[in-house]
Amino acid sequence: MKNRNFSKELEKRLNSEEIALPESLSAESIENFIRENGEILSPKRRKPPIKNRIIKFTAAAAAVFTILIGIAAILNTSINHYELKKQDNIVAQKTEDSDYSEVENVILSYFKNYYNDNYGNKNLYNNFLNNVTSSSKDHSAENGVPTLDESADTLAGSGSYSTTNLQVKDADEGDIIKNDGKYLYYIGNNKIYINDCRKPENMQTVSKIEFKTENGTEYYPREMYLYGGKMVVVLDKQTDSPDYNEYTTVFNGAAMSDCIAYVIPNDIEIRIYDISDKSNPKLENSFAVNGSYLASRIIGGKLLTVSNYHIPYSGCGMNTFGKSCDALKKVDIPRYSVNGGEDKKVSSDRIKIVNEDEPSNYIVTSLISLDNPESEPILDASLCSGQEIYCTDGNLFIAESECSYWYRGETHYVTDDRNINFSTVTHIYKYDITDEGVLYKAAATVGGICINRFSMDKSGDTFRIATCGAYADKTETDGETVSVEIQEDFSMVYTLDNDMKIIGYLGEIAKGENMQAARFMGDTLYLVTFYRTDPLFVIDLSDKTKPVIKGELKIPGFSSYLHPVGNNLVIGIGTGGDADGADNSAKISLFDVSEPENPKETDNYTVGNAYFNSNHKAFMTVDSNTFGISMIESYYNNAHDYCEDYSVLLMDFSKEGLTLRGKYKTAEYDENDSEKNSTVIDVIRGAFIGNTVFVVNENGIAAYSMTDNSKTGEIKF
């Protein structure tokens, strides 16, 4: 204890000593220094001009370009204010149509400007070296399509067992841990472990699937599903760029005009295994789709995947515009492949041009029938991009943010559909999920950013979204720097109709604070904002045109995840604190919202120097009065060594309060194995079957009895 407190004190002292940065170490001096002395090794290819604009702006002006929370990802997408195709219908699909001229013209005209900006008047040789990447695409094939075992195990389980905490009831979500009541499936150490947990004292890993690098392509399992005797795995598929030196040789040996340079996009891959024999999972089908993984769901027997395919303009620069266009043609349409076969382009009549002025990205969706995986997947693409998705069983909503900025003497403001200037806005694209595919329907723009998928909700015909943002005003300059003036952050709620028209708005909630969590339950929205203390807002949405704040509760700390548990109670998982702000403690709050005008925190459970896994999937419902959550707690032991405890807590609750039922630790770490003795919160998960609770992480599984909290078994991976 002494050392820990002292450590904090020392940190304060060391950080508070007055130290003046010498002139030789100022950013400007360093810039000159490295320019004179440094040459970068193996420089990478340039990115599209949009980023250049932002960089020039910020670098040239050392500007105060204020960007809101969570925006780092946003600047990977277009930032010009563009006209969206707000509403449109897609006619019935044909699959044989191969006329891509419309979308290709849009892309080409964008590429013209891009080419001139980056390659127009410069030394093409140097540019080429900076832009060279791989020249071949290689899908390694997985062979063998065994027949489906007719007696495939259905998801049986005597008694209850844990299931994935879903946002929407009929839209199943992938997870790193799955449970069928007998076996626990877990993604860890880049492998999938299938474990027989029927007898906790005798648990066994019955099979293990490893995902190794194949031909320079790396595979990382992200999430999996259990569906009708099958295991569906979603993987990141990444192909490394080849060695820079390799390319100078190739370049020197070949005529420049013959060199093709384009980037291998990252893909997602879906693998479907037959797990009727748990000790011998058999790969049956695989699909690869262009794009980096955004999300997936299983709805009505179909796997829906959503990915962002970024058009690799920067990889297409060559000595002539004509040659560059040839290179671009190879990558301007998203592709997919089935069972490692040849690449197929998404059919042209299934491509929707949403963002015509800045066509830098496609949202690519695939629908794969799991009941009939031999059938061709349905691929759709729309020229726009996304960061968060919300999926009901009939609709897909994708949210993308865009910022106001200043460039070359002009301010470009973004506005919501009411024409109010904001510092950032969110575009929401609505799709219908049908048997014919994922069809783009309409779009809307609202102010602020969408912090996560729980900020979105659909009830009946009304779409609701809670965002956090600020108004943007005029630019200001002090002669040296220019900035887009923004005001204080606040939270807001928009309601929209079926055609994505704004019908209601409530704004300027909690000015000066940041949104931490949101949760819609029927006609009520619970909102958590935080600056120093945590107002929990209860917002009534029963009049869809007039969202209204019913009640507010200010408490220390804040919740990152809200989970309504019935009986007018809401559990908040988050961080503790005092009147001055948040601290290092983990806190569970029990809110009583039976009186919306007067929400109360009936009880809380706090652990010092700890934090919870606030990902919604880590929240495990055991029964109507018990839930589990993973936790990492740090402390100093008797020998003053820094230690961490990894565990799952089971909490009982009632209207009266919270009680700890038990704290269950992960499988024991070998003290002498310094390589492998720490972990991260995201991979620590709880599960239960009947009366046994399991704590799983990449180290293994520990089993405990829920009756007397005794440890009943353990296996190590």
Partner 1 sequence: MKHDIENLVSEAQTGNSKAFAEIYGFYAEGLYRFALYFTGNSADAEDCVQDAVLSAFKNIASLKKASSFKSWIFKILSNVCREKLKNPADRLSSAPIHEIRENAVSDNYASDAPLSAEIKEALGMLQPDERQIVLLSVIGRYKSGEIAKLMNMTSGSVRSKLSRSLKKLRDILQ
Q: Interface residues with partner 1 (CB under 8 A)?
A: 2-3, 6-7, 10-11, 13-15, 17-22, 24-28, 30-31, 33-35, 37-47, 51-52, 54-55, 58-60, 62, 64-69, 71-73, 75-76, 130, 636, 639-642, 671, 674, 677-678
Count of CA atoms in the C-beta half-sphere (13 A) of 23: 0
User: Cβ closer to partner 1: 172 or 633?
Assistant: 633
d(CA 432, CA 474): 39
Q: How far is the CB of 319 from partner 1 (least distance, A)?
A: 19
Q: How far is the CB of 605 from partner 1 (least distance, A)?
A: 26
d(CA 31, CA 711): 59
Cβ-contact 586, 610 below 8 angstroms: yes
User: Cβ closer to partner 1: 28 or 99?
Assistant: 28
Q: How far is the CB of 429 from partner 1 (least distance, A)?
A: 23
Q: How far is the CB of 201 from partner 1 (least distance, A)?
A: 31
CA 431 to mean position of chain CA atoms: 19
Q: How far is the CB of 60 from partner 1 (least distance, A)?
A: 8
Closest-CA residue to 656 (of 608, 586, 614, 600) = 600
Cβ-contact 118, 127 below 8 angstroms: yes
Q: How far is the CB of 79 from partner 1 (least distance, A)?
A: 11
Q: What is the DSSP string of 382-396?
A: ES---SEEEE-SSEE
Q: What is the CA radius of gyration of the chain?
A: 27
CA angle 461, 464, 469 (to 5 degrees): 155
User: Cβ closer to partner 1: 432 or 473?
Assistant: 473
User: Cβ closer to partner 1: 332 or 489?
Assistant: 489
User: Cβ closer to partner 1: 41 or 92?
Assistant: 41
Q: How far is the CB of 402 from partner 1 (least distance, A)?
A: 14
Q: How far is the CB of 516 from partner 1 (least distance, A)?
A: 17
User: Cβ closer to partner 1: 37 or 419?
Assistant: 37
Q: Which two structure tokens, joined as six digits, stand for 95? A: 């699959």
Residues 6+ apart with CB under 8 A from 231: 178, 185, 192, 224, 225, 272, 273, 275, 281
d(CA 648, CA 662): 8
Cβ-contact 438, 367 below 8 angstroms: yes
Q: How far is the CB of 34 from partner 1 (least distance, A)?
A: 5
d(CA 225, CA 295): 13
User: Cβ closer to partner 1: 15 or 136?
Assistant: 15
User: Cβ closer to partner 1: 62 or 660?
Assistant: 62
Angle of helix 124-131 relative to helix 244-253, nearest 10 degrees? 140
First to last CA, the chain: 33
User: Cβ closer to partner 1: 55 or 254?
Assistant: 55
User: Cβ closer to partner 1: 58 or 395?
Assistant: 58
Phi–psi pair at 51, nearest 5 degrees: -70, -35
Residues 6+ apart with CB under 8 A from 374: 285
User: Cβ closer to partner 1: 39 or 410?
Assistant: 39
Closest-CA residue to 440 (of 453, 449, 427) = 427
Q: How far is the CB of 374 from partner 1 (least distance, A)?
A: 38
Report DSSP state, residue 566: S
d(CA 139, CA 136): 10
Q: How far is the CB of 116 from partner 1 (least distance, A)?
A: 18
User: Cβ closer to partner 1: 47 or 665?
Assistant: 47
- CA torsion angle 161 234 453 490 (round to 10): 130
Cβ-contact 397, 388 below 8 angstroms: no
User: Cβ closer to partner 1: 76 or 266?
Assistant: 76
Cβ-contact 365, 142 below 8 angstroms: no
Closest-CA residue to 572 (of 598, 599, 547, 609) = 599
Q: Is the dihedral of CA 426, 432, 438, 441 positive or negative?
A: negative
Q: How far is the CB of 461 from partner 1 (least distance, A)?
A: 37
Q: Which two structure tokens, joined as six digits, stand for 239? A: 């192909």
d(CA 312, CA 48): 8
Lay out the sheet containing 685-689: strands in order across. 685-689, 692-697, 700-705, 711-716
d(CA 456, CA 454): 5
User: Cβ closer to partner 1: 75 or 536?
Assistant: 75
CA 427 to mean position of chain CA atoms: 17
